[in-house]
Structure 1
């Protein structure tokens, strides 16, 4: 059994293979460390000069000289690695095993013995050697090659590498400021006007309806600024030569927008034949393309290369805005845009009819900055409305709004539509709210019948019905004429007042001979007067004058009219007329 154990060949474990690879890498790093440290130092010096903006401040000769010295230092480090007395030697397998044995403090070279063979071919010597290998393999546990020993203190006894590292970190932070430099400064000729000589004023003005103060920006603003949607970014640069302004949206896949100055946008509009001062939309659109040429030369030639420049941009989404030249940054700001949501409006209850016949609406409106106005939209219900030709537009319903503010509030409105040709019609009513940004919100649509004045006289009801039919569809003129003929067929027996009979005949003739819509509209108004006369006689006319006088008086009081100003129609006279007519009736 022992003879079989001695004859077994030792095989390296996976752990030993990993130890040899890490030891090889550590030894290779140690032997190449002087060259690596030299290259890192020269690269750090180059970045320090670039990020501190020193290359931009140097004359061309000095800049080329400094670059040459840095290049010589880098070349010397590489030459030391390849051709010097301490040139790089790749560690051999024996060197690696020797390093492991030395670091692991193994005696009698147990690791190297596993790879050696006896010099004699004697079987006894071979068996003895295998037994020696087996016993040495018992010591191959917990092997390590140790960490790389770079010994940088021998190369840099004064610790200058720490100073270089500190300057590198400081220059990197400095490069993000308005005076910071860029790597490209070392290879490009600097501008004649330095960035340090530019004055940059930037601010953001939120929309007026948000009631927020403008935000003045500084180059040190690193935190994202929260602004309302539609805020206007304004920028003024004391010298606009080679200045670029770009807005990069935060959403994925969006392309950056190049913003042109106000003067360039106006020149582009003039070159395109638009004339005048372009609006914000023109400036934004002009930012996506170069100004077109005009007959006198390029548009850019009409704008001075240097001098102050003004920029404006409407911020519609989150993103970052960068201002800078090819060599330095003049400012960078990030904006988180608060979206302006659409207003909301909804019925709080079913539309109802007041005692005086007016339509009463109760609703809730809301918006993040307040609703500017609201209205009710009316559409005729039914299939017949598709091909109809109405003589009058749907009545305008302006809704009263609660005190302006954020959130949801309740509103009430009473609209008198009893005299409208649409009164009594089957309609679909939708409430619409609009905010200062022009965004609209709509409620659900309700089908209803508009309130109408109730006529007790059958003849008056028939006239009002035909009036509504004619007003909502002028194509039904023939039908209305036929109905009026039927009503007046035996008027001497059924119409007590001859005046009403003559009025019906007159309106019938006007409708039958009408050549345009204006004549039909006058007939519609005439039919309303006829219906009122049939129902109330002269009393209804006096009531109308009294109501008109009250409305004029109320309007004058709301506008602050003084006692010396002439009053509108005399309400007392109208009231007296109403009493006289009532008595005569």
Structure 2
């Protein structure tokens, strides 16, 4: 067997070495034929190339036959024997040369033959040497193989057969005979490739609906014709002999090319399924009322668009109070569904996110219907899903009342008069419910607009203006605009208590707790900034109140939030009462003496910024009163047209006060709340007879005309300019802080300065509404700057801020503070160090700490986040 295999290997080896030029030439010849080059080159080039290829092939065959020699068995035996040590096969054929007839010599020779015979049993077939690199130093065989592989991938082996047809036909037929080409191009949204009709062997072809067929005919007109039944065309059908034809496939049928070399195909249409869409979860809302609705869309190819229709579910509306009347006609809300920017749209999940807090349907029963569409215009629709359209929830009572009347006005214009009456009744005693004079004056302005509507009617533009004003007022009442930290803290506590009673969601609880924490920090800063140095001998002895620190207060608020999220509202209310008592004790302690000292640069900047905020608020109030005076003046001028010429304006205003005593009393109560009791007398005196004040310009019933900002728009502009310049100096004197909070504070103060500049220009031009809008923007920017500056001071952990807040890392004995924990839930050491040996699985707080750590790791692995945030997350992970 080894001899036979070795001989076969020798045959392969000699065939390869003799005939490798033959298949190299064959590869080079067949590759262009498979690519169809013979169909496009001139006939002369085709024949010349064919002759050269034939001669080359004959030469290589002749050379191979001459070189090839059939291997003999002896050659195979010799090759096997050469691989064995001592050539045992040749030894077995040898004869004893000397010592013949000598028994000892013959015994030695026999033993030698036995050893050689044993070695032949290890004989193995010898592999052939198929390498021809020495004969092909330029690698021509590899080049030919590469060309052949490319032809197999991009060409067709059936094109080789057309060479015989061209060679057998007449010259005229070869040059001008009938030839055709055709393509079927599926719609782009399917993602399927274009089909070449000449490559389709089977007569049954399945293609998507909407595919476009293109056929080109070559040769003399009329030699070939095209017929089809797939387009469904009845009008404007081109002649069947047109050289180029194109049509869209709309139904199953046949396509045929009739004539010499024609073909026929049966076309089967693939049905395009309609898309589907489903809601994959309940609608959710965050603390600000922004809704999130998950959905799943599917199609056999791709979904191109989608819409969500939100319609009022009138049958489920609680028809009480302002909703008892029939609603004004209002179209359903139609919004576009979000589509993936990239990737496959055949099957995807997305989230519909939008904010409908200001829409008339907010917090009302509605139905939501999703609809998606594919490229053919087919649609898929969900069943109307009844939901409560999420919107912002208000917990402050007067804010809720304002929002409810806004809803009633949007429900029906006929509710405008009723809304004015309700709002006037609600604001009967303003000193008990309004946090400042500005909000009350704005409400009075809105009420007068509504009462005036009863005479002139309510248009759509006026209604939109009124509801926008009511929304801004409700937001201001809910969020508050107080510069005093103590009032803001009380405000945050009241909102949180309202949320406890009304069953707020987890998102709303988190937002209110964050507001309470910020108000607490501002209040602690205010206590530290207003503290006076003392010798420590008059410290009040109030038990544990001496050791209460800000960290313990934060722990108490964390516990309140945890109880509220668990639904244990009674326990949360008890802890809230304890927190209120602690804050009252802190106020008493501060009044009797504190641990204050010299202010740090950061504390001084906070105090100056708070003072700027108070001054800007006061200036905005005065500008609003000036605008109100203009509005009242316009009404009084209209009434004076029916008066006698000698009647002065002061008397007319006194009559108006007599007709509306309740309103003036409410205004006086509000003025008393603001500490401007002197205004009452001034207003009364003006109402009784000081009508001459209107001759020089705007009247001033605020009692602050002597301060340079009451009735002169120019003086208001000068005060605004002074505030802007003071803010500029404050920005230049800010302490050097680093971090995102410091950058946010700088941007907020820059935005506030720009708004002040715009307000100053508006005041100089007499545009009070524009000035009030810019002042409101400046107030918002100042509040953001104050909050960010406090956060920046805390993040930088300066010694000045620690002294200002009065915090410490432990009690007098040096033990860890109760519930004093690091961000991962571990108890702090006696020296304020992070970490301990205690178990991380001991209670609910530690479980939440593990969740926090996992969230930090997940966020740090998202490379799309800003680099500064990633660095901050890695520092947190390295530390904890």
TM bracket (short chain)? 0.3 to 0.5
- Structure whose residues are more often helix by fraction: 2
Higher relative contact order (CA 8 A, sep 6+): 1
TM-score between both structures, scaled by the size of structure 1: 0.45
The structure where strand makes up a greater share of residues is: 1
